[in-house]
Amino acid sequence: MTRRRVVLAATVAVLAATVALLGGALRGSSAGASGVPSPGGFEGPLPSADTAGLVRELQAKLRAHNRDAHSFALLGLAYEQRARETGDPAYYSKADGVLERALRLSPNDLVALSGLGSLALSRHRFREALWIGERAHRLSPTTARTYGLVGDAQLELGRYSAAFRSFNQLAALRPGLAAYARVSYARELLGETDAAINAMKLALDAAASEPEPTAWAHVQLGKLYWSVGKIGAAGTQYRAALFAFPGYVYAYDALAQVAAARGRLRAAVAFEQRAVQAIPLPQFVGSLGDLYRLSGRERAAQREYALVDVIHRLLVANGVKTDLETALFDVDHASGLPRALALARLAHRERPSIDGDDVLAWAFARNGRCGDALDYSQRALRLGTHDALKYFHRGMIERCLGHRSAARFWLGRALRLNPNFSLLWAPVARRLVG
């Protein structure tokens, strides 16, 4: 076998494992604000191989052998990976087409089926992802990655006990980065932050010094520290991510938060600009707009906010459901509040998770329907999750209802957990607590 073929085979193996095991999303800062490609802000590590080169190799192979189901399946996975690498959702549509082609040629191809499952997760089509994951599981009950697909979908559908069982089964069958990261997120949801940190450290060890997986795990560990106000520890992890994989955009986005928390707005803007220039994901663009606003550059902020809308439209055109993310952005920025409430309602029906509950609660509150908001806010906190933004929303809802003591309790709790939980809302909480 030639060296080129050895490299291609290794690339395919890494790519298949990456997309199938980590195609879905787990980690997000309240309400899946992470946007695309992942549903909750949890990004699977990208392979270090040349995905664009792999795409060209597979396309050439399929021009000569157009009934090769396995190559169509691998091309679909490669297109999904290109979507993650570039932020271009057009690759999702390409992936959909070739994966469906693979299944027409070979209806029980597990790689193609898993690829469609991870694609459904990336498109925030969680019921579809669950159906596909369960079908894949029936075909191969001992394949570990099917438990990841099923568990990710169950999580976003609010079926937490079932999701945690799926993650435990994944960990039992195949302990490693994908399993430990999911266990970490489950523990975080249950308010077990120290245990979540320990599990993410295991995930970091399991990355085995591979550059991008290592960078990804450092960023996720940093986010856990950030969530409980440990800015220094978070910053250390984000810088370690850049050391492991120079130019890692998710580290730049995270370092922008750290710089802003330390009052270094110019540095924060520079970090966020680097993230946006590399991959214009809506969460990066929206954060850049918020940083411009904090810097007094309102016109520049409005340009970024308008771009967020354009990106969401492009995502929708390529089959991605953005109702929850769009609703949260519009509610936060007081843009078309009645429409945002309607979107939040629709999103909650499709995504009845604690994040869906929280966004709907916030949308009700910002529309003055605070009694309805309280019901959903209580549901959003039902797992015992320590989330400063959810605490802030609860405090604002209590304030809207005239419950001054309860409002101060929840706002204070948000600030004690993480004094810099939001570029927009942490200053508001500090002002109201006084």
Phi-psi region at 47: left, alpha or beta (left = phi > 0; alpha = psi -120 to 50): beta
Does residue 279 register a pLDDT over 50?
Answer: yes
The reply to whether 298 and 363 lie within a common domain is: no
On whether the pTM is more than 0.95, the answer is no
Residues 52 and 139 in one domain: yes
Residue 434 confidence (pLDDT): 82
Q: Residue 340: inside a domain, yes or no?
A: yes
Residue 15: per-residue pLDDT: 44
Please indicate, yes or no, whether residues 148 and 7 belong to a single structural domain of this protein: yes
Domain boundary among 107, 122, 155: 155
- What is the domain-level CATH number for residue 299? 1.25.40.10
Q: What angle do CA 374, 322, 306 make, to 5 degrees?
A: 100
Count of CB atoms situated within 10 Å of the CB of 55: 18
Residues 22 and 114 both lie in one domain: yes
Range of the domain at 118: 1-28+38-155
Cα gap 163→154, rounded to integer Å: 5
| Residue 418: C-alpha distances to residues 207, 337, 362 (Å) | 28, 27, 19
The predicted-structure confidence for 73-98, as pLDDT tens digits, reads as follows 999 999 999 998 888 999 999 999 99
CA distance 399 to 403: 5
Tell me, yes or no, whether 33 lies in a domain.
Answer: no
Within a domain: residue 164?
no
Query: So what's the pLDDT on residue 51?
Result: 86
pLDDT at position 386: 97
State mean pLDDT over 363-392.
97
Is 2 part of a structural domain of the chain?
yes
> Residue 150: which of 171, 166, 139 has the closest Cα?
166
Q: What is the CATH number of the domain that holds 200?
A: 1.25.40
Place of tokens 């250390």: 236
Contact 196, 187 (CB under 8 A): yes
Compare 10 and 414 and report the one with higher pLDDT: 414
Side-chain half-sphere of 251: how many Cα atoms within 13 Å? Answer: 24
Q: Is 229 left (phi over 0), alpha (psi -120 to 50) or beta?
A: left
Any domain includes 162: no
Do 339 and 359 sit in the same domain of this protein? Answer: yes
pLDDT tier for residue 59 given thresholds of 50, 70 and 90: very high
The domain boundary, picked from 100, 122, 155, lies at 155
Nearest by Cα to 115 from 127, 133, 138, 141: 133
H or E stretch at 196: helix 193-206
The domain tally of the chain equals: 4
CA distances from 357 to 123, 282, 374, 394 (A): 20, 21, 10, 12
DSSP summary character for residue 335 = S
Say yes or no: 293 and 380 in one domain. no
Query: Helical H runs in 87-176?
Result: 90-105, 110-122, 126-139, 144-156, 160-173
Tell me how far apart the alpha carbons of residues 127 and 311 are, in angstroms, rounded to a whole number.
24
Is the pLDDT confidence value at 268 over 80?
Answer: yes
Q: Does 338 share its domain with 388? A: yes
Q: Which residues contact 32 (CB under 8 A, 6 or more apart)?
A: 25, 39, 40, 41, 124, 156, 324, 325, 328, 351, 355
pLDDT, tens only, 201-245: 999 999 988 899 999 999 999 999 999 999 999 999 999 999 999
Residue 347 lies in a domain: yes
pLDDT of residue 13 exceeding 90, the answer is: no
- Least confident range from 23-32, 138-147, 213-222: namely 23-32
Any domain includes 160: no
Q: Percent of the chain at pLDDT above 90? A: 85
**H or E element in which residue 15 lies:** helix 3-22
Residues 341, 396 share a domain: yes
Indicate if 212 and 313 belong to the same structural domain.
Answer: no
Total length of the chain: 434
CA distances from 86 to 53, 81, 162, 163, 183 (A): 14, 9, 33, 30, 28
Question: Do 252 and 362 reside in the same domain of the chain?
Answer: no
Query: What is d(CA 167, CA 184) in angstroms, rounded to the nearest whole number?
Result: 10
CA distance 122 to 156: 12
Task: Convert the pLDDT of each residue in 189-204 to its tens digit.
Answer: 999 999 999 999 999 9
Q: Which residues have C-beta within 8 Å of that of residue 88, sequence separation ≥ 6? A: 82
Given a contact cutoff of 8 angstroms between Cβ atoms, the answer to whether 112 and 28 are in contact is no
Determine, yes or no, domain membership for 90: yes
Rg, the chain, Cα only? 21
Amino acid identity at 95: A
Q: Same structural domain for residues 11 and 144?
A: yes
pLDDT recorded at residue 91: 96
State whether 116 and 86 are in the same domain.
yes
Amino acid 113: pLDDT: 95
The chain-wide mean pLDDT, for the chain, equals 89
User: Which of 60-64, 327-331, 391-395 is predicted least confidently?
Assistant: 60-64
Q: Indicate the residue among 225, 240, 255 that finishes a domain.
A: 240
Residue 280 CA to residue 234 CA, distance in Å, equals 23
pLDDT at residue number 30: 33
Please state, in angstroms and rounded to a whole number, the distance separating the CA atoms of residues 164 and 175. 15
